[in-house]
Structure 1
Amino acid sequence: MDTQKYDFSISTLGPCKVPSPIKLSNVEGDFIANYVTENEFIRYRVDTTMDEVVGPSKRSELLEKAGPREKIYFNPSHVHAAIVTCGGLCPGINDVVRAVVRCLWNRYGVQRISGIRFGFKGFLPDYNFNIQPLDPDFVDDCHKSGGSILGTSRGGGNRVIEIADAIEQLNINVIFIVGGDGTQRGSLEIAEEIERRGLKISVVGIPKTVDNDLSFIQKSFGFDTAVVKATESVGAAHMEAHSQINGIGLVKLMGRESGFIATHTAIASHETNFVLIPEVPFELDGPNGFLEHLKKRLERRHHAVIVVAEGAGQDLMQSAGGTDDSGNRKLSDIGVFLRDRMQEYFKSIDMHINLKYIDPSYQIRSAPAAPIDSIYCERLGNNAVHAAMAGKTKLIMGLVHNKFVHLPINVVISKRNYVDPEGSLWRDTLDATGQPILMVNDREAFMQNSIKKSNSKK
């Protein structure tokens, strides 16, 4: 249970004095949707014990509910809004862009909306990308396609002064930045530079990470679609494996540091026998190593399906070294490594196998959003607009306990979200696969080393 204290206070540009053009109600029972007031919150922590006393709570301990306010900060007729999409592709980006544009235009009457092309680089003069004017007609059908209608790129977010210069020169009042952990770090630095200049510009982040590794938010958009598509790949791998003599289907999925896609896919598919994720170390060789357990599986059932997250087993390979344009550590290819090691191992023991390796990562990332993600993206985009028009800034939209809330960027990027090897998700994954709890040979030494590492972090 997370007992650390966080400050969930949200920055604002000033008092809201402009009547909202969205006509709602403050009365219960009149069948008219209600405004959200500044006194509506939810608790972050829901876990408790029998004798724990909870409350009263300080404002900083509570999450501010998202939604339209009765009074807003900006006069809609004066607003120039912009939206930028950064980082890798993810199902649902276009759904978010569409929702933001339509809410600004149709609900608030904002008719100056600019799409920044190809991520943060679209702000930088040396790239010379044109600004894309946006309106409901332009975005009307974009949700039917994958990718980003605005284009995307990694990097550029560290050139904070130049980006702030461009935002100021374009007379932008509100900017929506769609991206993951690295992008949102850049968003915060940009917002702080804007603040230093005394400019009244709202910076709202919309979290995009298909790996679902941003902390505090319940899930990232595109994650459910990724699991749907990944499950289809596992189904194909199972069919290939089941149809061969000692068939092995190996599927590599996204998950640089967190194994959420791999674990959810294994549970959803009902056809996965081993899941390898970054959070749970494993050994290849020895009596309790992965290869020995795979051999026993083949001897017993004559086929096996393995799902591996891209960040798993990095300690088993030579480091790729360096970082990519987003600042992420470059990974060695665990999929190819496992494929080759399995072939070598079974050849060495003279055991016939038929191995099929599938890496569907880019097909998954570029897919259009499934309906469940389309719903989520629409609501994320709408609530992001409501927050910006109310003068909220330096925040990320999030879903927490099934409620849309405002989260401070600095809190969300303070740590990553990981699969807990001692938690219920991994436990259910082990139940789904039937794999050993730990595939290491000296379990006692491994456990003692893990406890030492855990204690050193406290």
Structure 2
Amino acid sequence: MFQIENLGDRKYKSPIQLSTVKGDNIFNFVDDEDRLVYDMSLENYQFCLDNQKEPDCLEKAGPRQNLFFDSKQTTAAIVTCGGLCPGINNVIRGVVMALHYYYGVRRILGIPYGYEGLNPEMGHGLIELTPDKVKDIHQFGGTILGSSRGAQDVGVMTDTLVKNGIDILFAIGGDGTLKGCNAIGEEIQKRGLNIAVVGIPKTIDNDIDIIDRSFGFETSFDIASPILRDAHNEAQGAYNGVSIVKLMGRDSGFIAASAALAMPVVNFVLIPEQEFNLHGENGFLESLRRRLEAKNHAVIVVAEGAGQHLFQKEEERKDASGNIMHDDIGIFLKETIKQYFKDIFPITIKYIDPSYIVRSAAANSSDSVFCSGLAYMAVHGAMAGKTKFVVGRVNNKLVYLPISAVVQKRKKIDLESDFWFAVLQSTGQPFFM
């Protein structure tokens, strides 16, 4: 299930001076046989024991003693795709520094504006990346390479890699980016080329399956938390004041839920995973009325993909990345609440949408550490000739996963989890609306 593909035999010794002996106080090379159990539950352990079945295991990330690529002759490239997310520049910096200082790779290319940069017709060209060019970029949000959405012809992109002598492609992006990276890997394999493709999962929504979390997610709700505090101040500043804050979360509500836990002044969290009724005794509007009657203010956090069942849609629309385009639940709630209370009692509504401020922020300290670790481990795996894989944290350990394993479905909040139960306890909202 989690088998990582390799380009071939490893003929070159790693230039990193590490150990193979435990107990000598020097970090050891990692072997491909160093594997970690995926499902660590007692139930799975007993199942495997009873059925004499080997458990699903993950390949531990880290530097290998033998390499597939001759570092002195290797050319690497980095591309960033999709929406902005805190930490992209940190990952770019980490990849460049690891390639240059750990392995002595001297030719590192940046591909401008996402996969568009691999299509010569777009005219973006390629840029040289050096330690001097990237040494300070971690202090800033966004991506120094630029980004774009939408697919490009896989054959054309592969031709560009070949033409520029690129041996390793690092693709930093979310679900669509990783699928594109895997498709490039398939084309490379069909042509019998020795080019490694590596994915570094980036999604502010934290919706990449299997992995614990994606980089930038922690910064996102860190940035959102003081915004919720200020929204609470606005709500309290008026009699029957209502503040609505819309946060990112197309299909998963992790940012909204986590921000509400981090700043526990929120009274309602609406997420894509849970449908809700507007009307009726247990509906959202009646619950909001009871809250205002009791406390005279309310703070509502809504993920952008929540409540889509409330819209009449003639046909499904998709953006350039293939994501379903949603109607604006924030504006809808504002107008619906306004109309509902018009004949009940006066209210004051404040609507806040900080989405693009949140996603364009620089990474916080915790995410910065995480980004560096992901970058370094991606480089170690790539230099060993591993391909069509992503690096991620599972069960709090950095591992290599096949791209195909993480793009099968989106990760969503488990409504029966202790995480969501904690959100309900914090907000006091009904379990069902």
Q: Distance in 1 between matches of 2:105 and 2:67?
A: 13
Please give the alpha-carbon distance, in whole angstroms, between the structure 2 residues aligned to 1:276 and 1:233: 17
Query: What do residues 226-249 of structure 1 show as CA deviations (whole Å, max 9, x unaligned)?
Result: 010111111110011012111111
- Indicate yes or no: 2:96 matched with 1:106: no
- Structure 1 residue 318: deviation in Å? 2.9
Answering whether residue 146 of structure 2 is matched by residue 151 of structure 1, we say yes
Q: Which residue is 1:228 aligned to?
A: 222
SS in 2 for 1:204: strand
The equivalent of 1:385 in structure 2 is: 379
Instruction: Name the structure 1 match of 2:136.
Output: 141
Shift in alpha-carbon separation, 1:51–1:151, aligned structure 2, 3 A: closer
Alignment match, 2:63: 68
The counterpart of 1:286, out of the listed 280, 286, 293, is 280
1:32 aligns with 2:26: yes
- Match of 2:294, SS? helix
2:268 is the counterpart of 1:311: no
User: 26-35 or 292-301: which moved more?
Assistant: 26-35
Displacement of 1:361 in angstroms is: 0.3
Using the alignment, how far apart are the partners of 2:145 and 2:263 within structure 1? 34
Amino acid at match of 2:211: I
| Match of residue 74 from structure 2 | 79
Q: Offset at 1:53?
A: 4.5
The structure-2 alpha-carbon separation of the partners of 1:51 and 1:134, relative to structure 1 and needing over 3 Å to count, comes to closer
Are the aligned partners of 1:245 and 1:302 in contact in 2 as well (CA < 8 Å)?
A: yes
Asked if the contact 1:318–1:332 (Cα under 8 Å) also holds between the matched residues in 2, the reply is: no
Q: Which runs of 5+ in 2 are unaligned?
A: none
Percentage identity across aligned positions?
A: 50
**Residue 230 of structure 2 aligns to which amino acid in structure 1?**
A
**Which of 398, 401, 404 lines up with 1:404 in the alignment?**
398
Per-residue deviation at 1:34? Answer: 1.2
**In the alignment, which residue of structure 2 is the partner of 1:165?**
159
Q: Aligned AA for 1:139? A: V
Which amino acid is 1:341 matched to? T
Q: Distance in 1 between matches of 2:361 and 2:44?
A: 46
The number of residue pairs the alignment matches comes to 430
Give the distance between the partners of 1:169 and 1:198, measured in 2 at CA. Answer: 15
Q: How far is the alpha carbon of 1:282 from its aligned partner?
A: 0.2
- Name structure 1 gaps, 5 residues minimum: 1-6, 440-458
How much has 1:17 moved relative to structure 2? 1.9
1:131 aligns to what?
126
Q: Secondary structure at the match of 1:348?
A: coil
Superposed counterparts of 1:441-456, under 5 Å: none
Letter of the 1:275 counterpart: V
Q: Deviations over 1:282-314 (max 9, x none)?
A: 011111110110010000001100000000000
Aligned partner letter, 1:45: D
Q: 2:90 aligns with which of 81, 89, 95?
A: 95
Q: TM-score, normalised by structure 1?
A: 0.92
Shift of 1:57: 5.7
Q: Deviations over 1:149-184 (max 9, x none)?
A: 100000134x11111111111110001000100111
Instruction: Give the counterpart letter for 1:123 in structure 2.
Output: L
Counterpart among 41, 44, 54 of residue 38 in structure 2 = 44
Please give the TM-score of this superposition, normalised by the length of structure 2. 0.97
Counterpart contact for 1:66–1:383, Cα < 8 Å:
yes
| Residue 248, structure 1, aligned to residue 251, structure 2 | no
2:178 alignment counterpart = 184
Distance (whole Å) between structure 1 residues aligned to residue 359 and residue 378 of structure 2: 23
Q: Distance in 1 between matches of 2:295 and 2:247?
A: 24
* 1:50, distance to aligned residue in structure 2 (A): 9.6
1:368 and 2:362 correspond: yes
CA shift for structure 1 position 25: 0.5
Q: 4+ runs of 1 displaced by more than 4 Å?
A: 55-59
Amino acid in structure 2 at the alignment position of 1:329: I
SS at structure 2 position matched to 1:387: helix
Contact kept, 8 Å, 1:65 with 1:405, in 2: the verdict is: yes
Residues 274 and 435 in structure 1, CA contact (< 8 A), matched pair in contact too:
yes
